[in-house]
Amino acid sequence: MKLCIIFPPLPFGWTPVAPPILEYLAALSRKADPAIELQLISGSATPDAFKTVECDLAAISILTPTAVSGYRIADSLRARGIKVVFGGMHASAMPEEAKRHGDAVVIGEAESVWPEVLRDFQSGQLKPYYKGEQIELNDMPTPLYGMLQDNHKFRIVNTSRGCPFNCTFCSVKPFFGAKIRFRPIDDVVRDVAAIPEKMYEIGDENIWWTGQTQRAIDLFTALKGSRKKWMGFGSLGPVLSPDGSRMLNAAREGGLLSVWVGWDAISDKSLKAYNANGKIGVDREKAVRTLKDHGIDVSLFYMLGSREDTLDDFKRAIEVADRLGVSMHPSLVVPYPGTILSKQYEPYIYKGLGWEYYNGSYALFEHPEPGMSPEVREEQFYISLLEQLSLPRVLRHMLKVPLAGFPYAHILSLMSQLPVRTGVKIAYEQWKINKQSVSEKRIIR
């Protein structure tokens, strides 16, 4: 049996991070059937590989902004007689839609049902839907790191799943559940040892959880033995906890160079509307300074253009970056399907914009203020982002990266900003050309 695992092209092109689903699902498939023949395709790296692929079954993992391209790939493969099974967050949120373009859909996590999918396909009895359970993470295989030969520079390791917070914009809790499920630390260490590169990424929603700082310390202490460097995503709340300093020291000594944290919103009003206060903590600016004081570089993710935001928020973002000495990575608000925000914004969402516009650079809903038209929000987003990614700012930020991480953190700082800068400049020029046609698609009903 020949299985091709496909991750469709991302909206803004190639990224140095290998799509984790490819090498992990390959390992899960090999575990279920050691004789299976595998081919992995990262669409951003090899966009034409779909045209010549030869396989019996194609597994396509889709996110919301890659759904349209994923459907297009599936339609072309099925026209050639290749069966297609969809999975991923978007397919789980919109299974009936995905099924229109595929032969089967895996809803939720794949581990509990993937062997069944493969057996059913081989016996000619593929079911239309498979509902994955949220099982414990005690028997996950090591991804087949290195199988994807597409010049990706970073691999991702996952150590937990789930999120207890109720942020309205987030897809993680609807997909992985509210319970935090941790992988055995020995299994994580094993996976890190298998990564061929000297740097990697922990792809968890959060590398440290409130009330679970000791588990984080134990993990970071165990990772110290690999002598590899890494980056991760973390909330700000635990940073100022009683064990926060000890946890940060363990993280840095365990190889953490840079943490990307959810700033989520510039204004406190929008932060409250997102119900994101719980993970932010009592003083988010103090938490950022504390991270830097412990030799850890910081990048902030946040959203602009919500129904509570104003034009001042676009300008204040640059002031926040300068004051805190951090890099900032904004997006326009995206009401992803299956989220609380999508339900809240339902009356205001522009129905004429397809999923390909759900990439963080388009205004997708009406704003109550006349001065916050879709075109104004989009242009201000690009202006703000390009200002933050200007070459002088990128270089100034690199000089502010803590010396404890030299040279890896400084290289990582450039690699996480310069490719984005190139992509954003291209996207801005395309936006100028296409903004009139996009405006004509904006209808509420």
Mean pLDDT of 299-323: 93
| DSSP letter for each residue of 275-311 | T-HHHH-S-HHHHHHHHHHTT-EEEEEEEE--TT--H
- Rounded average pLDDT over 146-161: 88
Q: How far from each other are the two terminal CA atoms of the chain, in whole angstroms?
A: 46
Q: What is the pLDDT of residues 281-292, one digit of tens each?
A: 779 999 999 999
Report pLDDT for 347: 96
Q: pLDDT band at residue 445, thresholds of 50, 70 and 90?
A: low
Query: For 156-431, CATH number?
Result: 3.80.30.20
Fold adopted by 2-131:
Rossmann fold (3.40.50)
* pLDDT at 444 (0 to 100): 64
- 67 by Cβ neighbours in 10 Å (0-12 / 13-18 / 19+) ranks as buried
Round the average pLDDT of the chain to a whole number and report it.
93
The residue-averaged pLDDT of 424-431 equals 88
Interhelix angle for 391-400 vs 408-440, to 10°? 150
| 75-109 pLDDT, tens digit each | 999 999 999 999 999 999 999 999 999 999 999 99
Please compute the mean of the pLDDT values over residues 163-183 and round it to a whole number: 95
* Domain boundaries of the chain, sorted by first residue: 2-131, 156-431
Q: Residue 425 — very low, low, confident or very high, per pLDDT cuts 50/70/90?
A: confident
Render pLDDT for 206-259 as a digit per residue (tens, 0 to 9): 999 989 999 999 999 999 999 999 999 999 999 999 999 999 999 999 999 999
Residue 162 confidence (pLDDT) above 80: yes
